[in-house]
Structure 1
Amino acid sequence: MLTIHGVTRSRASRVIWLCHELDLPFRQEPVIQAYRIADADAPDAPMNTRSPGFLAMSPAGAIPVIEDDALVLSESLAITLHLARKHGTDIGPQDYAEDALMGQWSFYAATAIEPDALTILMLHNRGTLQEADDAGLVAEAAERLVRPLKVVDDHLAEHGHLVGGRFTVADLNMAEVIRYAQGHGALLEPFVALRTWLKACQDRPAFHKMWQARLSEPE
């Protein structure tokens, strides 16, 4: 059985959502981020990203990591693309061209959107800006995101989905990255096609199943 190492309140959410889409059974080992623990190196600390046992599997100390038969794989987007190729029907690539395009959109999400979206997630709390310095960082991040979000919005306005006119792992990967900036309503407001598509992604039963598991974990 597939094993996912990582709590759901992490990028493991992408992998867990995909497993629910695929009806793929998995076992979850709740490795927690070390920064969330008062003393991650204490003998009685829960398994975390600095635990020697986890570092033996993931020298980078980052979650998620999967064990898929003999394959040990890290990096969440590499994991979702792998599982979609291996187990996917419509959610995975149907040919080499779709495989390339799913990689293209996933990497675009990771490089052009995720860094600034994470800034918004960390500093923009429930729609209320915090300290003045944080407000400035959020504003700068939002400004940088306008261009890549317009690229996604224009594509969705024409095609409905990122690849193949259907929901695929590319949509899942992109939706999970854009979710980080979702609390900044003013940023997403102009992008009608993107907002419609994001709502449809998050209305999927598999997303709800992952989200309920995420909410049940301690913050």
Structure 2
Amino acid sequence: MLKIYGVYRSRATRPIWLIEELKLPFELVPVIQAYRLKEPMAAGAPVNTLSPEFLAVNPMGSVPSMDDGGFVLHESLAITLYLARKYGGDLGPKDINEEAQMVQWSLFGATSVETPALKISSTIAGGKQDSEEGKTDIDVSARLLKRPFDVLEKHLAKSGGYMVGGRFTVADINVAEVVRYAQGHAAVFDGRPALKAWIEGCQARAGFKAMWDKRTAEPA
């Protein structure tokens, strides 16, 4: 059976959302991030990213990892692109051109959007959004997102409202799960109606809701 190592409060949401869309049977093997534990190496600590049994699966000690019938793969974007190509049907590429575009937009999200968007998310999650430091961090991050969000706005307005192929695909999942980090700062979506409609449409899907309900139920 397909196994995903990780927890819902991690980048494992990316492959799990895709898995929910595809209705694939899978086993979630709980592995929590070590930084979330006071003493990750203490006796009786839950399996975490520093645990020897997980490092035997992924020596880098990061989640998620995947085991698909003995084929082990790491990195959330690599996992989603693999699953989409193997099991995805319309959510995966129809030809090599679409596959290249899905890789392109997934990497665009990771390299151009994720860092400033995640800074917004972590600032708000830490309750610092109203402090002077927090306001500065959010303002700087919003400025860094201007160009990539403008690129996404223009692309989505011309592409039928999806990242690739005029239909919902793994590329939408990969990019949406990065853009999500910025949603706590609504101003970054002002003047970008296509981007706003796209992220809301992605999150209205049953696959996202199924994943998100389980994420919400998981202890913070």
Q: TM-score, normalised by structure 1?
A: 0.97
In structure 1, the partner of 2:45 is 45
Shift of 1:124: 2.5
Structure 1 stretches lacking a partner, 5+ long: none
Contact 1:34/1:50 (CA < 8 Å) preserved in 2?
Answer: yes
Name the Cα RMSD after superposition. Answer: 1.3
* Deviation digits for residues 128-157 of structure 1 (CA, Å, limit 9, x no counterpart): 724322221221111010100110110001
3-12 or 118-127, which moves further after superposition? 118-127
Q: Map of 1:1-219 to 2, 5 A cutoff?
A: 1-125=1-125, 129-159=129-159, 160-219=161-220
Q: In 1, Cα distance between the equivalents of 2:207 and 2:155?
A: 24
Confirm or deny: 8 A CA contact 2:120 2:185 kept in the other structure: yes
Secondary structure in 2 aligned to 1:8?
coil
* 1:78 to 1:149, Cα distance in 2 relative to 1, 3 A: same
**How big is each residue's C-alpha offset from its partner over 1:28-56, in whole Å with a ceiling of 9 and x where there is no partner?**
01100111111001011000011011111
C-alpha displacement at 1:191, in angstroms?
A: 1.0
Moved over 6 A (4+): none
Q: 1:127 to 1:51 in 2, by over 3 A?
A: closer
TM-score (norm 2): 0.97
State which drifts further: 131-140 or 116-125.
131-140
Is the 1:127–1:184 contact (alpha carbons within 8 Å) kept by the matching residues of 2?
A: no
- Once the two structures are TM-superposed, the CA of residue 71 in structure 1 deviates from its matched residue by 1.0
Q: Is the 8 A contact 2:110 2:178 kept in 1?
A: yes
The amino acid of 1:118's aligned partner reads L
Going from structure 1 to structure 2, the CA distance change for 1:107 and 1:212 (only over 3 Å counts) comes to same
How many pairs does the alignment contain?
A: 219
The Cα of 1:57 is off from its aligned counterpart by 1.1
